[in-house]
């Protein structure tokens, strides 16, 4: 299993191919950006839950809407819950249920747990 990351602006047209290839789609804090994340926000509900991953892209791409901004101004794994909450909201999912699903996805992908 492999992962495709979602920083490409043309991700929506490619998402069917990505999924057909058996890839997972990793969603970063980019989804929290009201300007640059619009296309990604529209894509998130279309990703099958068993192919979805949540990631930070640390130390880059600090979620734009995260408050208060970290003093160091960098992204880190502790912000995963914020990204997950945004993804759950966009999908209409319960955050706790989605957290369990993406955890299972990560464990299966990386053969851990």
Extract the residue ranges of the chain whose pLDDT is less than 50. Answer: 7
CA 19 – CA 63 distance, rounded (Å): 25
pLDDT in tens, 82-100: 999 999 999 999 999 999 9
pLDDT in tens, 52-62: 999 988 888 78
DSSP, res 27: E
Helices H / strands E in the chain, number of each: 4, 3
**pTM (predicted TM-score):** 0.87
Residue 36's contacts (CB-CB under 8 Å, 6 or more residues apart) are 30, 64
Distance CA 5, CA 57 (A): 10
């Amino acid at each position: 299993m492999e992962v495709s990351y979602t920083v490409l602006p043309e991700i929506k047209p490619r998402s069917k191919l990505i999924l057909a290839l058996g890839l997972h789609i990793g969603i970063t804090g980019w989804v929290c950006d009201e300007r640059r994340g619009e296309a990604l926000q529209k894509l998130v509900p279309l990703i099958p839950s068993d192919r979805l991953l949540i990631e930070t892209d640390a130390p880059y791409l600090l979620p734009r809407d995260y408050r208060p901004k970290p003093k160091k101004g960098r992204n880190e794994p502790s912000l995963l819950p914020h990204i997950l909450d945004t993804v759950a909201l966009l999908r209409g999912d319960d955050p706790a249920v989605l957290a369990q699903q993406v955890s299972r996805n990560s464990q299966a992908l990386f053969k851990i747990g």
